[in-house]
Chain A
Amino acid sequence: MSDLGDSPPPAGELPAEASKGFPWRGVLEGVAWALLVAAFIIGQIAAKPDYESMLKQALPGETLVRSDANSSLPFVFRIEGKDDVVIIANGEGYGGPLVVGVRARRTEDGGRLAEAMMLSHKESPAFMERLHRGNFFRQFGGKNVTDNFIVGDDVDSVSGATVSARGLTSAMRNAVHLGAVNHLKLEPSWKKPGWIFGVNEAVLVLLFVLAFIAGYRKDKIGKYAGLSVTVGALVFIGFHANASLSLANIAGIFMGYIPSLRQHPMWWIMMIGVLGSIVAMGRNIYCQRLCPFMVVQDLAQKISGVKLKIDSRFQRRARTLIFSLSWVALMLIFLTAHPALGSYEPFAMMFSLEGLGIQWYILPASLLGSLFVPRFWCRLFCPVGLYLNEIVRLRRKIRTAFSRRASGGN
Chain B
Amino acid sequence: MKVTWTLSLAMLLLVFGFFYQSFQEMLQIAPVQVAVERLSGPATPDEPENDEPENQ
Residues of A at the B interface (CB closer than 8 Å) are 46, 49-50, 53-54, 57-58, 100, 105, 112-121, 132, 137-142, 168, 308, 310-311, 314, 318, 321, 325, 328-329, 332, 335-336, 338, 341-342, 344, 356-359, 361-362, 365-366, 368-369, 372-373, 376, 380-381
Q: Tell which of B8, B25, B34 touches A380, judged by Cβ atoms closer than 8 Å.
A: B8
Given that A308-B3, A310-B4 are known contacts, is A361 also in contact with B39, CB under 8 Å in the complex? no
Residues of A within 8 A of B14 (CB): 358, 361-362, 365
Interface residues in B1-38 (C-beta closer than 8 Å to A):
1, 3-5, 7-8, 10-12, 14-15, 17-19, 21-23, 25-26, 29-30, 33-38
Task: Sample 30 A-B pairs with CB under 8 A, ordered by A number.
Answer: A46-B30, A49-B33, A54-B36, A100-B39, A112-B43, A114-B42, A115-B38, A115-B47, A116-B39, A117-B37, A118-B39, A119-B35, A137-B40, A141-B42, A141-B43, A141-B51, A308-B3, A314-B1, A314-B4, A332-B23, A338-B29, A342-B22, A344-B18, A358-B18, A361-B17, A362-B15, A369-B11, A372-B3, A373-B7, A376-B7
Given that A341-B25, A344-B18 are known contacts, is A365 also in contact with B11, CB under 8 Å in the complex? yes
Q: Give min CB distance, B47 to chain A, whole Å.
A: 8
Q: Does residue B48 face the partner (Cβ distance < 8 Å to A)?
A: no
Residues of B within 8 A of A117 (CB): 36-39
Beyond A100-B39, A358-B18, list 6 extra A-B contacts (CB 8 Å): A50-B33, A57-B34, A314-B5, A329-B19, A372-B3, A372-B4
User: Is A118 a contact partner of B36 (Cβ separation < 8 A)?
Assistant: yes
A310–B4 Cα distance when bound, in Å, is 8
Q: Chain A contact residues: over half helix, strand or loop, or mixed? A: helix
A118–B53 Cα distance when bound, in Å, is 10
Residues of B within 8 A of A114 (CB): 42-44
A375–B5 Cα distance when bound, in Å, is 15
Which residue of B has the minimal Cβ distance to A340? B22
A314–B3 Cα distance when bound, in Å, is 13
A357–B25 Cα distance when bound, in Å, is 11
Q: Give min CB distance, A325 to chain B, whole Å.
A: 6
Residues of B at the A interface (CB closer than 8 Å) are 1, 3-5, 7-8, 10-12, 14-15, 17-19, 21-23, 25-26, 29-30, 33-44, 47, 51, 53
User: Is B25 a contact partner of A113 (Cβ separation < 8 A)?
Assistant: no
A32–B8 Cα distance when bound, in Å, is 24
User: Is B26 a contact partner of A335 (Cβ separation < 8 A)?
Assistant: yes
User: Is A336 a contact partner of B11 (Cβ separation < 8 A)?
Assistant: no
User: Is A141 a contact partner of B40 (Cβ separation < 8 A)?
Assistant: yes
Q: Give min CB distance, A28 to chain B, whole Å.
A: 19
Residues of B within 8 A of A336 (CB): 22, 26, 29
> What 5 A-B pairs come out closest when comparing CB atoms?
A142-B43, A141-B40, A116-B39, A137-B39, A58-B36
Given that A336-B29, A373-B7, A381-B11 are known contacts, is A115 also in contact with B42, CB under 8 Å in the complex? yes
User: Is A308 a contact partner of B4 (Cβ separation < 8 A)?
Assistant: yes
User: Is B7 a contact partner of A116 (Cβ separation < 8 A)?
Assistant: no
Residues of B within 8 A of A115 (CB): 38, 40, 42, 44, 47
A132–B10 Cα distance when bound, in Å, is 32
A115–B29 Cα distance when bound, in Å, is 23
User: Is A328 a contact partner of B11 (Cβ separation < 8 A)?
Assistant: no
User: Is B43 a contact partner of A119 (Cβ separation < 8 A)?
Assistant: no
Residues of A within 8 A of B23 (CB): 332
Residues of A within 8 A of B21 (CB): 356-358
Which residue of A has the minimal Cβ distance to B20? A358
Q: Give min CB distance, B6 to chain A, whole Å.
A: 10
